[in-house]
Amino acid sequence: MVEDGTGGKTRGSAADRVYGGVAAIAIVLALWFLARGGEADTTVERSPRLTVEDPRPGATLRQPVVLTFDARTELRPDGSSATGKRHVHARIGATELMPGPVDVRPVSGTTYRWTLPRLPAGPAALRLYWSDSTHLAIPGAESDSVAVTIEP
C-alpha cells in the first residue's frame, strides 16, 4: 500500500507488483547460484609438453649455451605459441630467461634451437616451461630437469 497524500492508502500499480516479483525471484536465484557454486569460468588450453633434446643430462656446456627442444607445437621466433596464449621460458640454476623477438629458430617440425646469453659457470639444473601472458608458469607445462655443468 502507498499513501495517497490525504492520509488514505492505495494499492501499488500492477507494474510495481510485477517488478517487485521479478526482483524477488532474481534475489532468490542469485542466492541459490551463490550457494550452489559451480565450475570456474576459466578455460585453460592444455599446453603441450616441452622436451629438452640437447643438452643431455650430465653434459658440460661451453658458452654460449644452445638449447634444442621439442615444443610439440608451432612457435613464433619469440618463443610464443601460434595462438599467442603462452610462451617458452627457461630456468638454468637461479637464472630465468625468456626468448627475445628472434631468439627461437626452427630446426625441423616442432623442434627449435635457442642460443642463451652468458650464464653463471658451474653445475645447474636446466628446465623449460610454458608461461602465460603475465609470465607466470603454467602448472604442469614444463620439461624434465636436465643436470648440466656450465663452463666459464
Going from N- to C-terminal start, the domains of the chain cover 2-36, 51-150
CA-based radius of gyration for the chain: 29
Of the candidates 123, 112, 106, the residue with the CA atom closest to the CA atom of residue 61: 123
Residue by residue, pLDDT tens for the chain (152 residues) are 555 566 656 666 777 787 777 777 868 777 766 677 655 444 445 788 999 999 999 999 999 999 999 999 999 999 999 888 899 999 999 999 999 999 999 999 999 999 999 999 999 999 999 999 899 999 888 999 999 999 99
Long-range (24+ apart) CB contacts under 8 A made by 131-137 are 131/86, 131/87, 131/88, 131/89, 131/98, 132/85, 132/86, 133/85, 135/89, 135/98, 137/89
pLDDT at position 43, please?
Answer: 45
pLDDT at position 46, please?
Answer: 77
- 51-150 has CATH 2.60.40.10 classification: yes
